[in-house]
Amino acid sequence: MKLAFILLAALSVAASAQTKQERGRRLADEVIAALGGERFLAMRDRVERGRAYSFYREELSGLARAALYTRYLDADASPDPKVLYVLERQAFGKDEDSVVLFERDKGWSITFRGARPINEERLERYRDSTQRSVFYILRQRLREKGLVFEHQGSDIVDNQPVEILDVTDSENRVVTIYLNRSTKLPERQVFFRRDPKTRIRHEEVTIYAKYRDVGGGVQWPFVMQRLRDGEKVFSLFAESVAIDQKLAETLFAVPAGVKILPPAR
């Protein structure tokens, strides 16, 4: 009898876990549908223009006009969780004369002085943040082996009812996504990153708001804010977002003939 009870309990736990994952995958499909469905999944590039603010200890430390250019690359049949399938150009200033460029395996800071390689620590932070973005997960990582979606129930966040979705990859990295219960659009995501030097664990939070149709039914947030350990570190207020602009290859490459500067110390 005792053995039968243990077996029944184990089967019950397994069934419950399976149901949680089934609900999680179904909820992920609903999020994709809310973001634009096949049109969202087929999005090739995007341009976001607006105002960017950076903060240090909750105090404004910088602001600029910003234009963010993103190009999605074709992912492998089974995407590698360590590979980025995206290119990004972050241009600042009225004339976009200060640029941060992220290629698949390297990054550059480009000014009138030349192009300076981005150090590995900053590059790794960018890779980790990009790979754990809810939009990147749904657009580029769905076929990745070992990716698990789990529904963690409902809650109230900022006075809004939300559904909670955990995404765990094969490296046991977890992203918790809070979805508007009515629209199923992402309102907040949370993950933890450990500093490779100090080993301190940091909480990384991104808040999304003011979704609009940016073409063909694709919904995209016009407001994005990032917090680290509860302190605001970055905000982007978009004034326009456009998709599938057939962006030129040269936007995502170091300009020909530019002076290559030594890495920053």
Distance CA 41, CA 37 (A): 6
Q: What angle do CA 9, 13, 16 make, to 5 degrees?
A: 135
Strand, coil or helix: what is 58?
A: coil
For residue 262, give both structure tokens.
């030594």
**Whole-angstrom distance, CA of residue 21 vs CA of residue 14:** 11
Q: What is the Cα–Cα distance from 183 to 36, expressed in whole angstroms?
A: 12
Q: What is the DSSP letter of 25?
A: H
Q: Give the pair of three-digit tokens for residue 95.
A: 């004339």
d(CA 70, CA 247) in angstroms, rounded, equals: 9
- Running along the chain, 265 residues long, what does each successive block of 10 average in pLDDT? 53 61 97 98 98 84 92 89 94 94 94 95 94 97 96 94 97 97 98 90 97 97 97 97 96 94 85
Q: What is the pLDDT of residue 15?
A: 47
pTM score of the predicted model: 0.90
Cβ neighbours of residue 150 closer than 8 Å, sequence gap 6 or more: 20, 21, 23, 24, 165, 166, 167, 168
Q: What confidence score (pLDDT) does residue 59 get?
A: 76
| pLDDT at residue 11 in the model | 46
Sequence-distant (6+) residues with CB within 8 A of 76 are: 83, 85
